[in-house]
Amino acid sequence: MKVPVFLFVDSMRRRFPSFRKLVLFLVIAIGMNPGLLRAQANSEKSPDPQTLQALLDRIDRLEARVRQLEAARAESPVATSPEPQRPAAPPAVVSPEPAQANPTPEHEAEPSEHAEAERMDLSKTLLRIRGFGDVTLHGDNQKGDTTSFSLGQLNLFVTSDISDKFKFLSEIVFEGGPDNLYGQPEGTRNLFTVDVERYLVQYSHNDYFNLSAGRYHTAIGYYNTAYHHSTWLQTTTGRPLLFEFEDRGGILPIHNVGVEAFGRIPSGRLGLHYVAEIGNGRSSRTPLEEEPVQNELDENNHKAVNFAIFARPSKIPGLQAGFSIYRDLLTPVAQPAVGETILAAHAVYSLTNFEWLNEALVIRHAPQGLGHIYQTPGFYSQISRRFGSYRPYFRYQYENASPHEPIFPDIALRAGPSAGVRFDASESVALKLQYDFIGLRNQPATQGLTLQLGFTF
């Protein structure tokens, strides 16, 4: 009914410029009509000034609406959908019933994300921030450890659409110290520090070619690029030992600074993808640096390269399998250079209610001139099943380095199971309870219990 009244008012306004006066006149004339007056007297309903004022206000609003619509039409003649062409849908699509008049207001149209976005639009807020965090209570039987509450990484995940093709992405992480670089603590306890864990400008040409430059997570295996610095996204309370961050005693070059290209490979239902990376690689173990990631200066001219390929067959949703090869040259001071090769393979089956992650890798260190290669194998397997809000899980992990390993002799053997349960208290908050057993070579095994509250915001 809105449209006829609106059109009537509009046409009257065009015919009579002083439409408001005409309405007043009509109201007064009707009011003075004896018959009507009699009828009003009979029905004891007198036209009070409030009703008149309400009518006038309504006319004012309608006139304002007409002006607004006329102005909008004059400004953007093609920005709105051509409503009158409604019956032009394909014959097979059109319902036999008459099209339902939609009661929604016209302002729903949002042409703001027009395709011509290659220029910077200063009127738009480009920056988006999501956050991840966790609070943990942990206790274990390791000598010197105390049962403590600890604040986990506070991760601010920042993205920005610079243009249609360019995007900025970063993870800014606040975390409590000290760092643990291959077993040696660095920094002060209970003091928060800031790490820019990822810092990328990404160019997306199409699905087959994308280019990123900056600091990224190396595409070794699956875990490292699936969860990044979000504890909440992970099923368990922490990463597998193999994929621990460098500043938490990890043995892999988790981060790298350089350039990476990635995308799909035309392969039909096989769903092949590739990742090719070149960067500074990690700093050598000796002498121990404060920062294992070479953010601004490489210790040598040799660049670390990594190539990964994986398949996501469309016939089996949730399955991903692939392998990667990483190559670098480490040049520790007063020691022979060490060639580093990391071969990794993974097979992951991840659905909403079921998850089975399997990864294995071997790190090969070949000191030049010594003629001996040190191999450090490792793997983990993790399985979980969701029952409503609960997700019990189990993980077994293993890594075994030689005591004479030139880069991380302190790692030795670490192997054992972890079991726990994750409870999703809400869509954004998860409570996890996990038991860990880690067997060590020539040392007593460690057992630990962790209660963690992970969240996103």
Partner 1 sequence: MICRTATVLLILAASALPLWAPQAREAPRPKQESLAIVVNQSNPINDLAFSELRAVFLGERRHWPNGRRITLVMMEPGQPERDAMLREVCKMGEPDLRRRLLQGLLTGEILVSPKTLATPVGVRKFVFNVPGAIGYLRPADVDGSVKVLRIDGHLPGDAEYQLWIPERAAP
In the complex, the residues that contact partner 1 under the rule CB under 8 A are 79-83, 85-90, 92-95, 97, 99-100, 102, 104, 106, 108-111, 113-115, 130, 157, 159, 161, 164-165, 167, 169, 200, 202, 204-207, 212, 225-228, 230, 233, 269, 312, 314, 317, 352, 424, 427, 456
Nearer CB in complex with partner 1: 49/96: 96
Least distance CB 114 / partner 1 (angstroms)? 6
307 and 275 Cβ atoms separated by less than 8 Å: yes
Residues recorded for the chain: 457
Of residues 92 and 122, the one with the C-beta less far from partner 1: 92
Taking the complex as a whole, the smallest distance from the CB of residue 226 to partner 1 amounts, in Å, to 7
How far is the C-alpha of 201 from the C-alpha of 162, rounded, in Å?
9
- Of 30 and 129, which CB lies nearer to partner 1 in the complex structure? 129
| Beta carbons of 294 and 301 less than 8 angstroms apart | no
Closer by beta carbon to partner 1, 138 or else 229: 229
Cβ closest to partner 1, residue 216 vs residue 380: 216
- Residue in this structure with the two tokens 């994750």, named with its chain if needed: 422
431/180 Cα distance (integer angstroms): 26
The rounded distance, in Å, linking the Cα atoms of 233 and 239 is 11
Minimum separation from the CB atom of position 295 to partner 1 (A): 20
Residue indicated by tokens 């339902």: 100
Q: Say if CB 344 and CB 306 are below 8 A apart.
A: no
Least separation in angstroms between residue 450's CB and partner 1 is: 22
The amino acid at residue 295 is N
Q: Which is nearer to partner 1, 212 or 294 (CB)?
A: 212
**Between 146 and 206, whose beta carbon lies closer to partner 1?**
206
The position carrying tokens 């990690």 is 282
Maximum CA pair distance of the chain?
119
Nearest 5°: phi and psi at 21?
A: -65, -40
Identity of the residue, 272 or 337, whose beta carbon is nearer to partner 1 in the bound complex:
272
Residues 129, 133: Cα–Cα separation, whole Å: 13
CA angle 351, 217, 334 (to 5 degrees): 140
CB of 287 to partner 1, least distance (A): 34
Q: Which two tokens stand for residue 191?
A: 């003091």
Report the 10 Å Cβ neighbour count for 105: 7
Query: Smallest gap, in angstroms, from Cβ of residue 86 to partner 1?
Result: 4
Residues 6+ apart with CB under 8 A from 116: none
Per-residue burial over 181-220, b = 16 or more CB atoms within 10 Å of its CB, e = otherwise? bbeeeeeeeeeeeebebbbbebeeeeeeebbbebbbbbbb
Q: How many other CB atoms are there within 10 angstroms of residue 130's CB atom?
A: 13
Report in angstroms the alpha-carbon separations of 410 from 67, 178, 205, 401, 420.
78, 18, 44, 8, 28
C-beta closer to partner 1: residue 44 or 83: 83
CB of 82 to partner 1, least distance (A): 6
48: phi then psi, degrees, rounded to nearest 5:
-85, 155
- Torsion angle, CA of 109/112/117/120, rounded to 10 degrees? 180
Residue nearer to partner 1 on the CB measure, 73 or 205: 205
CA-to-CA distance for 357 and 400, rounded, in angstroms?
A: 20
Nearest residue to 202 via CA among 235, 160, 172, 236: 160
Q: Are strands 319-330 and 304-311 parallel, antiparallel or unpaired?
A: antiparallel
Nearer to partner 1, 134 or 328 (CB): 134
